[in-house]
Amino acid sequence: MRVLGVDYGERRIGLAVSDPSATLARPLRTLRPGGSLPSRVAAVAAEAQALAADADGLAAVVVGLPRSLDGTPHEQTARVLAFVDRLRAAIDVPVSLQDERLTSVEAESRLAAREKSWRKRSERLDAAAAAVILQDHLDEHRAPSGPSPSPSPSDRVTAPSGRRR
């Protein structure tokens, strides 16, 4: 099942989606719902419901939680928490939070490597930031692949002279 990533902003909301195995995130689109908090919640809820109706389904929604670089909350943190509370009431899948510090900077540098035009990059920045948020979440919550086997004596590195180290 897929996971939806959200980079919430007052003017733009970036969306990203995972592959069905919830391993890789990719930018989806940028919404410009404007208006009030209920209209922004409705726009994201509609996207979540559309993904839930898809054959691959929707397992969860991950929303980026903004904080200051030192980890303390700031004015946008409260806005995101209000958005998340309303979104949780509007959809039937779990909604979790993911630290989003420096995700826009990382998204901008990734986009700049491929696109020289700042205007074109800015159109895709919010969705790219949502993909960074979502990928961070997927990486942190990936199921462990099990214990790694201990190396056998034959796996040890040998020195060029043929002696074992």
Task: Give the integer Cα–Cα distance in Å for 17 and 64.
Answer: 13
Widest pairwise Cα distance in the chain: 73
pLDDT in tens, the chain (165 residues): 999 999 998 888 999 999 999 999 999 999 998 889 999 999 999 999 999 999 899 999 999 998 877 778 888 899 999 999 999 999 999 999 998 866 665 555 665 556 555 455 455 678 888 999 999 999 998 755 544 444 444 443 433 444 444
Task: Give the integer Cα–Cα distance in Å for 76 and 13.
Answer: 13
